[in-house]
Amino acid sequence: MKIVFSSRFTKEYRNLSNTIQVLTDKQLRFLAVDLRHPSLQVKKVQGTNDIFEGRVTRSYRFTFH
């Protein structure tokens, strides 16, 4: 899977702590290889057709389509 980052993501990513950036990088590598990786806990965002949510930590999530 090819991952393209929005300008908003890039801006918000820079504001994250180094720890969260490292965890985000790890999860995005999992996403690129296997959308169904258990630690991502991917699920469809309710009320949308093609927007999904993945987990970085209990407090941090990312969305994609």
Q: Whole-model pTM?
A: 0.90
pLDDT in tens, 2-30: 899 999 999 999 999 999 999 999 999 99
Q: Containing H/E element for 7?
A: helix 7-14
State the sign of the Cα–Cα–Cα–Cα dihedral 15, 20, 23, 24. Answer: negative
3-class SS at 19?
helix
